[in-house]
Amino acid sequence: MRTLVIFILISNFVFSQEIDENKYYAETKTIFIKSEIFEKERELQIYFPDEYFKETAKRFKIIYLFDAQNQRIFNYVKGNVELLSMNYIEPMIIVGIVTEDRWFEFLPKNNNIETLKEYEPPIGGADGLINHIKNEVEPYLLENFRVKNERIGIGHSLGGTFLMYFNTLENDFFDSNILLSPNFSYDDEQMIERIKIYNNSLNKKAKDFFIFSGFGDSYEEKFNTSLKKINKWLKKNKSEKINWQYEQLKINDHGKIWFEGIYKGLLKIESIKKT
C-alpha cells in the first residue's frame, strides 16, 4: 500500500508539471497489490512509455509479461518495446507478472500420476494465477491507468505453457500471444489436447499466436517434438479464428530464444494489425 501511495504521488507530480517535449519520461514502477487469491501482497513490475506522460488523453495497449521476477528478462523486453516503438510498433504498457513459484503457478493440474516423477509437487496452481490476473490485476489496471481493452501475452518455456493454458480457458482475454519455446510435453502432452479442443470451439474474435523455438539443447529438442505435433495438426485442421505462425530459430540455447523471438513477435503482431 505504501508503494502504491508513493506511486500515485509521483504520478500526480509528473502530470502537474509542464511537459518538456525534449525530455524522456518513460519509467518503471514496482507496485504491490493485495491478493485475496494468494492471501498476500503480489508484486507487479509496470513500465509506462514516454507517450503515457506526454499524451494524457491517450489509452495504451497492455503487454502481460510472465517471469518478470527475472529483472533481466523484464529489462530486455522493455528495451525492445522502447526501441521498436520509435518507428515500428505502437507504445505500450508492460505489466510484468512476478512469479514466486514457477512450477506451481504456471502448470495446470496434472492428469497423470507419472508426471509427479518429473515435476515435483507442489504443481497445478495455474488456475489461481489466472484468477489473480483476471479478477485482481486487470481490474486494478483498468481503475488506475489509461489502458485499452487490448492485451498481448508473452511467455517463455513454462510461461508459454501457462499462456497457452490461459487462452484455452479464457477465449476473450488475450488478443495476441508470443510463445517462446513453450513446454507442450508437460503431463503426457496435456496442452496438445487442450489446443485441439480450443481450435474446434473458438467462435469469437480471431486470435494470433506467434511461436518460436530453437534447436540443439535438451529442452529445445524435447519441447520441439510436442510443438511440431500440434503444428502439423493445426495445418490439417485450419481454423479462420486462429492465426498460428511457428518459426524455428537458428538458436541452440533454450534461454536465448528471448533474443530473437521478442522483436520478431512484436513486429509480426504489428504487421497483422496493419493488414
Domain boundaries, the chain: 2-8+26-274
Angle ∠(242,243,249) on CA atoms, nearest 5: 135
Residues facing residue 96 across a β-bridge: 45, 65
* Cis bond upstream, residue 122 (ω within 30): yes
pLDDT score recorded for residue 175: 96
Say how far apart CA 80 and CA 10 lie, in whole Å.
25
Reported as a single tens digit per residue, the pLDDT across 71-92 is 999 999 999 999 999 999 999 9
pLDDT score recorded for residue 10: 45
Please tell me which residue, 272 or 118, carries the higher pLDDT value: 118
End-to-end Cα spacing for the chain: 43
212-241 residue pLDDT tens? 999 999 999 999 999 999 999 999 998 888
Mean pLDDT, to the nearest integer, of 194-216? 90
For domain 2-8+26-274, give the CATH number. Answer: 3.40.50.1820
Q: What is the pTM of this model?
A: 0.93
Work out the pLDDT band at 122, boundaries 50, 70, 90: very high
What's the pLDDT score for residue 17?
A: 63
* Strand duo 147-156 + 93-97: pairing: unpaired
Task: Check residues 181 and 273 and name the one with the higher pLDDT.
Answer: 181
For the residues 87-104, what does the mean pLDDT come to? 98
Taking residues 14-40, report their average pLDDT: 90
pLDDT at residue 6 tops 50: no
Residue 206 banded pLDDT, cuts 50, 70, 90 = confident
More confident residue, 95 or 16: 95
